[in-house]
Homo-oligomer: A and B are copies of this chain.
Amino acid sequence: MNTSKKIYSGKTKDLFALPNGNIFLVFKDDVTGADGVIDPGANSVIGKVEGKGNKSLAMTDYFFKCLHAAGIPTHLVHVDLEKGAMEVRRAEPLGKDVSGSGGFEFVCRTRPWGSFIRRYQKYIQDTGQDLAYLVEVTVKDDERGDPLINDDTIIALGLLKPSHLEQAKTITRHVCRIVEADLRNKGLTLIDMKIEIGLVDGEIVVIDEISADAMRVMDDTGTVLDHGTVYARLIR
């Protein structure tokens, strides 16, 4: 770590450039939220939860390895749980703007919940309705409330090639099915989740993390679980 250089300090991770050209992602215990309530979708850090960074890292490690087993590439090189960090290949996040900030989030939904219901209430019969792994792409832009962006706009603004967009959506659905099946084996139901995707040497790969912070989960009584409970159920 002496020869690595901090290149970015995010809300939940710090990034260091390694001498071999890779990136060292250090997971922090910081949690985001609003009005004192933890909400991984919120844009402000409201405090720390001891051990949270390591749980996110362990869960990401677990799911990234499930993806590799299913033939879905990620940017992961190796995880160092002692250091609470993972080494990853340097990726170009899809949807990065000209200044290099931002990027897309790929949301996959198995059933209507949260902002989806708020937006499309007119059309929703019940929260058990099958959404067939639909994908929504949103722009990471705190100031503008992470706006939804449609496929036509992504193409017209030249933000992605059509083939890359299709691949990214296909991978998002595939990841969602893998995570859903894994949770089902543990008595849990995946409602929705989001991932980030990037290009490494021209190849579409899953990047960042797959943790409880990036998914909404309910138990067999239909109760939506807080993220601490999801970690407790999934990570020893």
Contacts and interface: CB of A to CB of B under 8 A. Distances in A.
Given A101-B122, A139-B122, A132 B156 contact: yes
Nearest to A109: B156
Residue of A97, A119, A124 with most partner-chain B CB within 10 A: A119
What copy number does this chain have within its complex? 2
Nearest to A129: B157
B151 A119 contact: no
Contacts of A148: 147-148, 150
B136 A121 contact: no
Contacts of A152: 134-136, 169
B122 A102 contact: yes
Contacts of A129: 157
A136 B153 contact: yes
Nearest to A137: B150
The 8 tightest CB contacts between A and B, nearest first, are A134-B156, A97-B122, A119-B147, A134-B152, A150-B150, A131-B156, A132-B156, A123-B157
